[in-house]
Structure 1
Amino acid sequence: MKKRYEMKVLTVDTIAKETIEMTLYQPEISQQTVPGQFLHLLVPGFTLRRPISIAKVHPKEGTVTILFKIVGDGTKALASYHPGMNVDVLGPSGNGFSIEDVKEGERILLVGGGIGVPPIYHLARRLSEKNVELVAVLGFQSKDYVFYEDAFKEIAETYVVTNDGSYGHQGFVTHVFPEVGKFNQYFSCGPLPMLRAVTTELKDTTGKVSLEERMGCGVGACMACVLPTVDNSYKKICSDGPVFSAQEVIL
């Protein structure tokens, strides 16, 4: 059973259009979470908790940073929180990215789209400790939505792609794959159409994908996040994932 915490809000910042970065204090979560996991936040006045992925942790400081996009009344209310307030949280939840099979010296491709970028950044920081070569491709709607570019550039060869070409490369993340060159395996998180395109383009390469965008209740009750697998069974993204082998699921 997931543990419940009261996490203190330390900072709340708007880092891109409709995009909020919130740093929370909770030492236990900061020390046990793995990339790809999420927190299940309760916003007073709303029945369902909000599953929000973890962007980074600082175990020594006891902090956890989350990012979310304002898309409705619940996230709008969460964005109104200020330092000193507490957030009711369950977590860390979900099965994250497994990196045990990543070997020293490998070249790893990281692909993030929109609000799928935060868990990829958490993963990038963890992978940077394994002495591997990282290349990141980050996709956004437009220049106004771009975030974490400089943070990625500190640890990875980084490409930014915008749909309208207002910043970086124009088009979709797959359009820059020819520039990336060879790599050993990939990790990706983002909107479902992006993940479909990535897994199709890289069908012959080992990869892992996070489908955290598809989660509803976050506890396996609403059945909104069920998806089929190649062995004719079904998985719940929130409880069986959100991370899966790209060769395991049908997107």
Structure 2
Amino acid sequence: MIKKVEMLISQRRIIALDTVELTLKNKYISQTARPGQFLHILVEGHSLRRPLSIASINKVAETITVLFKINGPGTKKLSEYKNGMYLDVLGPNGNGFQIEEHDNTILLIGGGIGVPPMYFLGKHLVEQGKKVISILGFQSAGHVFYEDEFEALGRTIIVTNDGSYGEKGFVTDALRLVEDFDCYYTCGPLPMLKAVTAKLNDCSGYISLEERMGCGVGACFACVIPTNDHFGYKKICKDGPVFHSKEVSL
């Protein structure tokens, strides 16, 4: 159930170029959030909330970690919040990742700020005894984050657009380095998701969509995506942000 809560900022870190990590404290969300869900955060001076994917939770410490990239006035303002301040938050929002019991080897594909929800999912999969392989795409070496964290989960391949770190190219170029897997999960910019789903068209997979939102709870139609069954649209904030790769039309 979505609740409106105040969340204490217990830690703020710059972890890569223009990339901020916030560790927030709230008992309810830390106990109920699932991989793939997001928080809808109100930023002072801005009418629309910002949807931020959950990167991890710590049920014992009652904390939730989110990451965001500074790419506009709203995220710039959010990056200026300090430890000890409170955020007005709706959460946990949306539907999370569906995990099939029979899938044993999982491929995670994250691009940019689509990497954080892959980490939350990866930790959860490893706890369930699954084997995890990760492909993470970034613009350049300065944008890379969470490499060590993913390495702790399993084999990790870093790709940068300019080749300044890891493999050169896009996440789809690194698919040649991966052999057998049972299912894939991916999150990132829409062009990346289109390329990944086209390349892995014969594979079972799930996508998590990054999208600007209005209400964040399904009351408006600001974030819709057409379905492949020709029967209408899905609301990303409520029906998603996770969908089966064959469910919606990118």
Q: Which residue of structure 2 lines up, in the alignment, with residue 208 of structure 1? A: 206
Cα displacement (A) at 1:98: 1.3
Shift of 1:35: 0.5
**1:176 deviation in Å?**
1.1
Q: Which residue of 2 aligns with 1:44?
A: 44
Partner of 2:241: 242
Matched, 1:56 2:53: no
Q: SS in structure 2 opposite 1:238?
A: coil
Alignment pair present for 1:98 and 2:94: no
1:1-251 pair list within 5 angstroms: 2-99=2-99, 101-103=100-102, 106-211=104-209, 213-217=210-214, 218-220=216-218, 223-232=221-230, 233-251=232-250
C-alpha RMSD over aligned residues = 1.2
Amino acid at match of 2:108: L
- State how far apart, in whole Å, the 2-side matches of 1:240 and 1:234 are: 10
CA shift, 1:102, in A, is 3.3
- Give the drift of 1:220: 3.5
What CA distance in whole angstroms lies between the structure 2 residues aligned with 1:221 and 1:165?
43
Q: In 2, are the aligned partners of 1:216 and 1:222 still within 8 Å (CA)?
A: no
Shift of residue 221, structure 1, vs aligned partner: 5.1
Q: How far is the alpha carbon of 1:111 from its aligned partner?
A: 0.3
Identity %: 54
Shift of 1:186: 0.5
- Return 5+ residue gaps in structure 2 as ranges: none
1:133, distance to aligned residue in structure 2 (A): 1.1
TM-score, normalised to structure 2's length? 0.96
CA separation in 2, counterparts of 1:9 and 1:159? 31
Q: Residue 103 of structure 1 contacts residue 132 of structure 1 at CA under 8 Å; is this kept in 2?
A: no
Task: Give, in whole Å, the separation in 2 of the partners of 1:2 and 1:59.
Answer: 18
| Cα distance in structure 2, aligned partners of 1:41 and 1:225 | 16
Aligned residue for 2:237, secondary structure, equals helix
Whole-angstrom CA distance in 2 between matches of 1:72 and 1:186: 31
**Count of residues in correspondence between the two structures:** 248
In 1: Cα distance, 2:55 partner to 2:90 partner? 16
The Cα shift of 1:68 comes to 0.5
Residue 64 of structure 2 aligns to which amino acid in structure 1?
A: V
Q: Is the 8 A contact 1:94 1:238 kept in 2?
A: yes
